[in-house]
Structure 1
Amino acid sequence: MAGIGGEHRATLAARLLGAGRQLLPRGHVPTSMERHDCAQAEELAVAVLGRAAYDAAYAEGGGRTLEEAAALVDAHRE
């Protein structure tokens, strides 16, 4: 998501990564594939946004409820 569509999609990716991380169940241990995919998505989004803007969007996403995160995805489907 972050690598295509410029700043708008990179911001969306950062918000969704933050929401996803926050909404994981307590004690969740990510698989190696999860770690790889999240690291790659973060790297792509940071490359577009820069670290400060990525961190701000990630933090904003982390404050969302499951319903808010789902609505964000629905609003940006193409």
Structure 2
Amino acid sequence: MDHLQKLQEAFGNHLRKLREDRGLSLRDLATRSDLHYNKIGQIELGKTNLKLSSIIALAEGLEIEPKELLNFNFQLTISEKVAH
């Protein structure tokens, strides 16, 4: 698995936690962020790379600042750091 895929999965996990902490379903967040619920599901699964406009829309839907959406843990293992 490459770095981008791991980053996408970490972001997706963070997004899912934020959504669930607010008691929102995928459809709820989709309505609030004006994004399709399938797209949000793909983001949460780490299957898609986001555009800045999607990050802003998700933050608005969650009623948070975009920086909060981007504040998640992501670390590479030492062997991954050495490989690149």
Shorter chain as denominator, the TM-score bin is 0.3 to 0.5
TM-score relative to the length of structure 1: 0.35
The answer to which structure has the higher helix fraction is 1
TM-score relative to the length of structure 2: 0.34
Structure with greater Cα Rg: 2
